[in-house]
Structure 1
Amino acid sequence: MVSNPATSPPTMLRTMAYEGLHEGPRLIVLGAVHGNETCGPRAILRLAGELERVERQLLRGTLTLVPVANPLAYQRGERMGERNLNRNFRVTTDPQDFEDRVANRLAPLLARHDVLLDLHSFHTPGEPFVMLGPQDNASGLEPFRQAAAEEALVRRLGPRRVVEGWLDTYARGVARRMRNPNASLRAQMLSTDPSYGIGTTEYMRGHGGYGVTLECGQHDDPEAPEVGYRAILAALAHLEMLDLPPPPPRADLEILRLVEVIDRDHPDDRFARPWQSFDRVCAGEAIGVRADGEVVRSPADAFIVFPNPRALPGNEWFYRAEVSDRPVDGVKSRDLPS
C-alpha cells in the first residue's frame, strides 16, 4: 500500500539556495523551527517567490532559505514533533527522535554559513523583539567573538525591543530544575545534558558565525509574517546582498536582560492573571500559584517574558527580565516609563 505523503511522517527537509555571482556573506534564514509558528514560512516563501520570478536578484554571496525547519511539527500544527528542536541542537551519531534527525541535516548546513536569521513567534499578544547573543567572551558556556556584527544586524532588523541573556539564564534554570524533586524524569534526563540549552543561534555562534532569533509577534498576529519578511529584506540590505538602501539603525532600543526562568511543575500550576510578554511586574507581586497553593512572587521589579499558560510540567513557564545596561551597537536602552 502506498502511503499518503500529506499524512505520513516527513522524510525530507526542503531548502532553497541562491548564489550571487560575486563573493559575499552566506546568510541562512529559518522558519518553523517550532511547527505552530507559521510567520516564518510565510515570510520566507514570499521572498522565494520574488526571487523565482526575478523580481529581486541576489547581488553577491549565498542565501539559503529553509521555510520549514521542523516538518513534523509543522505538519501537526504543534510546537514540537517529538521534542523541541531548539533545545539540544547538535549533530549526534545515535539519533533518537525526529528532531535529532533534522538536526543532523540542519546543523552542518548552518555551519556552512556566516549569518543566521531564525524567525519565530510567541503565545501571548505583544510586540516583536529580537533575541541577542552574548558579548564577546572566552567563557566555557558560550564563547563568542562576533558581538559587534551581531549587534549591528539587530539594530537594523526593525523591532525596537532587544532581549539578551538567554543561555546563561537557561543554564541557571537547568541547575534549579535538577534540584526540583517535582521535575519529571524526562526533564531531569534532559537537564543533565550540558547541550540542552543550545538552539540554532547558539549552535551558529559556536561554529564561527553569528545569528539572531526574531520573535515576529503572536502566533496568530496577521502582521507577524510582514515583520519577518521586512526583517529578511533588512538583513539582505545590511549585508549588501540585495540592491536595496541600507536599513536605518534604530536609535530607540529597549534592551532587556533575562535574569530568571521558572518551570511549570504541575498541570494545575496557574498564572495569577493572563500575562503577556513584557508586562511589568512589581517586587513582591504574585505571578502565579502552584498546585499546592504556593504563590510565586517576583523578587524584584521586572518584566514577564514568554509566559506559557500551557507549558508542560518540567518545561519553561515564564522568564523574568530586567533593564540591561549593555549598549547594543553603541546604543543604550532608552529610558523606560515607570
Structure 2
Amino acid sequence: MHISSEQFLPPSYFEYARGNGPGPRLIITGAIHGNETCGTEAITRVLADLDSGALTLRSGRVTFVPITNPLAYARRTRNGDRNLNRNLFPTAHPQNFEDHVANWLCPLLARHDVLLDLHSFNAPGEPFVMVGPRNNTGPLEPFQHEQAERALARHLGVQRFVDGWLRTYGDGVRRRLDDAQQIETVLRYGIGTTEYMRSTGGYALTLECGQHQDPQAPEVAYRAILNTLAFLGMTDGPPPAPVDPHAIEALSMVAVVDKISAGDRFSRPWRSFDVVAKGERIGKRADGTPVLAGFDGRMLFPDSAAVAGGEWYYLTRTNPEF
C-alpha cells in the first residue's frame, strides 16, 4: 500500500500532565502489532480511570497511544505493510504505511524519558519483559540508564526477564555478511521501539503480557501500567513491591542459529522458553545433518517458517547477575 503524507492520518494519543510537581515524561504504547490487543484494552481501562478520577496523576506527564499501528489493528494482523517494530527510523521518503507511522512515532518517543511498550505473543506461555543492555559506550547500543531501567522492570509484576536482543541479533548479522555497509543496513532492521527510545537518551521496556487470546494478558498490562505510574512517583500511594528475587528467572540471549535451507526442520514444535540440554537435538538440516544444542539453556523465538538465510531460533542462558 502506498499512502501519501497528505492521506496519512496519525494514530490518536492522549496526554495527561500535572504541573504541581516535577516528574518523568512517560509514554505507554499498545498495538504496535495489530493482533496484540492486550495493551489497547489496558490503556483504555486506565484512561477511563483517569477520566473518572479513580486514578489521579500527581506529577510528571504521561502519554498513551492505545493503537499505534491502526492499519494492522483494523486488519487484526501483526503487520500492515511491514513490521513496525523493526527498522524504526524516520524517513524522508516513506514507502509504506509503517514508514508514515515511524515518522510520527519517533519524534513522539524522543519527547519522553521512559517507554513502556505492551505486546503479546503467539504460543502459550507466561509473561516476560525484554530489557536493554548494560551501561556501555560501544557502537551498537550505547546506554547509561541500566539501573533505572532494570529497577522499573522488577516492579512491573512479572518474574521472567530477557536481555541481549540487539547484541545477539547483531552477532548473527555479522556472521552472515562481510560487507560493512550492508551490515550497517541490516543492523538497522533490529531497531524497534525500545532501541529507538534508548538512542534518544531515554530508557524503555517491552512487556510481553501473555498469549494473544489469554484473558489474563490485559490484566497483566493493566497492572504493569499502574505499577509503572506508582513506581515512578506519578500517582498516589506507595510504590509496588519488587518481584521476589528468589522467583526471578533472568535469561540472556547468547546465540542465534540460522536456517540454511528451506528443507531444515525442527525435531519437534519448539516453544519459547522450552528447556534445552547441551547436545539435545534441535532439528536437522536438509542434508540430514543434526542440529544440536551447544549448551544448556532455553529456546527463544523458534520460527519454523523462517526463510533460508534468516534467523531460525535463538538460545538463552541463565543470567545470575540480573
TM over 0.5: yes
- Between 199-208 and 300-309, report the one with greater CA deviation: 300-309
DSSP 3-state at the match of 2:186:
coil
1:288 offset after TM fit, Å? 2.6
Aligned equivalents of 1:230 and 1:316: distance in 2? 33
Q: 1:265 to 1:106 in 2, by over 3 A?
A: farther
Equivalent in the alignment of 1:260: 255
The question of 1:214 aligning with 2:207 is answered yes
Count of residue pairs brought into register by the alignment: 311
Aligned equivalents of 1:36 and 1:286: distance in 2? 32
DSSP 3-state at the match of 1:255:
strand
Equivalent in the alignment of 2:280: 285
Equivalent in the alignment of 1:105: 104
Q: 1:309 aligns with which of 304, 307, 313?
A: 304
1:290 offset after TM fit, Å? 3.9
Q: 1:211 to 1:42 in 2, by over 3 A?
A: same
Instruction: For 1:86-125, list aligned pairs within 5 A.
Output: 86-125=85-124
Equivalent in the alignment of 2:236: 243
CA contact (8 A) 2:177 2:183 kept: no
- Between 310-319 and 134-143, report the one with greater CA deviation: 310-319
CA contact (8 A) 1:125 1:277 kept: no
Equivalent in the alignment of 1:21: 19
Aligned equivalents of 1:268 and 1:75: distance in 2? 35
Instruction: For 1:71-220, list aligned pairs within 5 A.
Output: 71-178=70-177, 192-220=185-213
1:313 offset after TM fit, Å? 5.2
Equivalent in the alignment of 1:230: 223
Q: CA RMSD in A?
A: 2.1
Aligned equivalents of 1:315 and 1:32: distance in 2? 25
CA contact (8 A) 1:10 1:72 kept: no
* Aligned residue identity for 1:119: L
State, as a whole percentage, how many aligned pairs show the same letter: 54
1:218 offset after TM fit, Å? 1.3
Q: 1:165 to 1:226 in 2, by over 3 A?
A: same
Q: 1:136 to 1:31 in 2, by over 3 A?
A: same
1:123 offset after TM fit, Å? 1.7
Provide the TM-score with structure 1 as the length reference. 0.86
Provide the TM-score with structure 2 as the length reference. 0.90
CA contact (8 A) 2:34 2:72 kept: yes
1:189 offset after TM fit, Å? 7.2
* 1:188-217 per-position Cα deviation (integer Å, ceiling 9, x unaligned): 979733322111111111111100111111
Equivalent in the alignment of 2:4: none
Give the unaligned 5+ runs of structure 1: 1-8, 180-187, 328-338
Aligned equivalents of 2:65 and 2:104: distance in 1? 12
* Aligned residue identity for 2:195: E
Aligned equivalents of 2:31 and 2:60: distance in 1? 24
Equivalent in the alignment of 1:12: 10
